[in-house]
Amino acid sequence: MNQTHMLREILEIPAMLRREAGNWQAQAKEIQTLRSNRPNVTLLGRGSSGNACTFGSYLFTLQTGRQPVEFRPWLTTQALPDADWSDNVAMAFSASGHSTDVTEALRWLKQRGALTVAVTGADGASPLADLADKVFRLRCGPELAVPATKSFVAQLFAVAALANYPVIEAAEQTATAMESLLKSDTVDKLATFLHGAQTTAWVARGPSYAGALDAALKTQESLGKTTVAYSSAEFLHGPIAMFHPQDRVVIFSDADETMASKQAVVTTLLARKVPFITIGSDATHEAGLPLELPKQRWARTAILAILSELVCEELAKRMGLDADAPADLNKVTLTM
């Protein structure tokens, strides 16, 4: 059977991490110098790029104590009061560099004084890169499948570098952990667990919530399945009530200690007879599917992302679907 573009692109991730981590760190340091007198960060993105922004909202806050704004492009279509954004660095994420509403929102922020940064996988010119004051190149290589795989992982590391985390060692550890994952039967086991689910939930907490969001997006677009993502705390505030025995829940823990909110989710799922599986660190011996993980907690989100990408590609094969080109979707989505 021919290998899908999606699988080929996922399998390129370890080499990409090892090759580009130093480059990402260097680009981030240059941008950090430019933003020395701008304490606030604004993040822009759609789809997987938007999930990378959610990841960034956690990482920047952990490093600075200031939570970034995850900017909503729709706001720029409205008549808003004048405001000065000159204390902001606006970072716009788009793998293609052609996301129309993200580009226009960045233009709006630039006109109001923000220092603008484009984070893109495009190697040459693009509307977003041409507009920005500074361009952060992911250099992840062409991505032909509609689902963003290696570009999303590259964005996670770009965010971490921009938030002033050291990424070179974390990239090596993540690449090694992914290679360990590929040698195991974890992908097959998780795909079998999820196959046939009526509704699926991906549940996580903290920075890895961004990985859960992207896992849900991959399941939606590549499989056409009803899928949601929640933080383990938010899940208990109502959404858990819609889950029944025909559904499936995946709980990811990026912590090496027991989490009270995760335990409460498990207790409720057991009471409702909802099948679930826990994945993550085996430090607490609670993971149904233990994973080798990087030491740096933030980098563990990338393993959740890679695992979900592999599982969705495998399930698409089992279901006779084209993971590379899901019906009615395009690689570049033009919205305003």
Q: Tell me the pTM.
A: 0.95
What tokens were used for 288? 């149904």
Residues 6+ apart with CB under 8 A from 322: 316
Range of weakest confidence among 26-30, 263-267, 280-284, 331-335: 331-335
User: Comparing C-alpha atoms, which of 310, 316, 305 is closest to residue 223?
Assistant: 316
Q: How confident is the model at residue 262 (pLDDT cuts 50, 70, 90)?
A: confident
At a CB cut-off of 8 Å and minimum separation 6, what does 331 contact?
A: 96, 143, 144, 145, 146
Q: How confident is the model at residue 22 (pLDDT cuts 50, 70, 90)?
A: very high
Average pLDDT over residues 1-8: 88
Sheet holding 226-231, edge to edge: 226-231, 199-204, 248-253, 276-280, 289-290
* Cα angle 253-152-315, degrees, rounded to a multiple of 5: 70
Place of tokens 């992982």: 153
Q: Is 40 helix (H, G, I), strand (E, B) or coil?
A: strand
Q: How far apart are CA 315 and CA 190, in angstroms?
A: 10
CB neighbour list of residue 307: distance below 8 Å, 6 or more residues apart: 181, 186, 187, 190, 215, 279, 291
Do residues 194 and 314 lie in contact, with contact meaning Cβ atoms separated by under 8 Å? no
Q: Is the pLDDT of residue 194 over 60?
A: yes
Question: When comparing pLDDT for 34 and 25, which is higher?
Answer: 25
Q: What is the pLDDT of residue 258?
A: 74
Here the tokens at position 39 are: 């304490």
Residue ranges with strand state E in 220-321: 226-231, 248-253, 276-280, 289-290
Residue 227, helix vs strand vs coil: strand
User: Does residue 15 register a pLDDT over 70?
Assistant: yes
More confident position, 58 or 125: 58
Amino acid (one-letter) located at 196:
G
3 state SS of 109: helix
Tokens of 148: 């963003």
pLDDT tens readout for residues 31-50: 999 888 899 999 999 999 99
- What domains can be seen in the chain, in order of their start residue? 5-170 (3.40.50.10490), 177-318 (3.40.50.10490)
Query: What average pLDDT score do residues 2-30 get?
Result: 97
Please provide residue 276's backbone torsions phi and psi, each rounded to the nearest 5 degrees.
Answer: -145, 160
H-helix or E-strand spanning residue 51: helix 47-64
SS3 294: coil
**pLDDT score, position 56:** 99
Mean pLDDT of 312-321: 97
pLDDT for residue 19? 98
Residue 178 has pLDDT above 60, yes or no: yes
